[in-house]
Amino acid sequence: MADFLTGMRISSSGMAAQRMRLNSISSNLANINTTQTPEGGPYRRKDVVFESMPDARNFGEIIMSTDPKGSFQRVQGSDVVSDKKAPLLKYEPDHPDANAEGYVAYPNINLMEEMTNMIQASRSYEANVQALQSSKEMALSALEIGR
């Protein structure tokens, strides 16, 4: 049963990480035309940094691991970083946020890139849902054999 739970924890960590990534992408898409933020300047594109973590609930489980290659790894979103790219300047002298030369600074967000990232994240989420469902079905089948 422990192996089934390990698979479920790993799949659920992948789902949580992809959910975090989808939230970041949604924020990027919602702010694609935001020229002013409370911090000042245009919105900066956000991206999630993933990190692998040992799949153990405590230090004792890591030490007592019998896996010769090390423990299984799960994923987690460790940070959300802002893009450092320069904003896109568009000449719009009538815009309220235009500078002295008539240029407005827009976020450097590519709609197609964000949509591609969203499709990739949603498919990764779906794959983790399917893996979790398969683990659950295997665990139920194992319990049925024991009856």
Would you say the pTM of this structure is higher than 0.85? Answer: no
Is 57 contained in some domain? yes
43 alpha-carbon distance from chain centroid: 19
- Per residue in 31-90, pLDDT (tens digit) is 999 999 998 899 999 999 999 887 665 556 655 665 545 567 788 888 999 999 999 999
User: Is the sign of the CA dihedral 29, 32, 36, 40 positive or negative?
Assistant: positive
Q: Which domain holds residue 56?
A: 2-32+46-82+109-145
Beta bridge partners of 48: 80
Domain count, the chain: 1
CA neighbours closer than 13 Å in the CB half-sphere of residue 55: 22
- Per residue in 80-138, pLDDT (tens digit) is 999 999 999 999 999 999 999 999 999 999 999 999 999 999 999 999 999 999 888 88
Amino acid residing at 113: E
For helices 2-30 and 111-145, what crossing angle results, to 10°? 160
Is 139 contained in some domain? yes
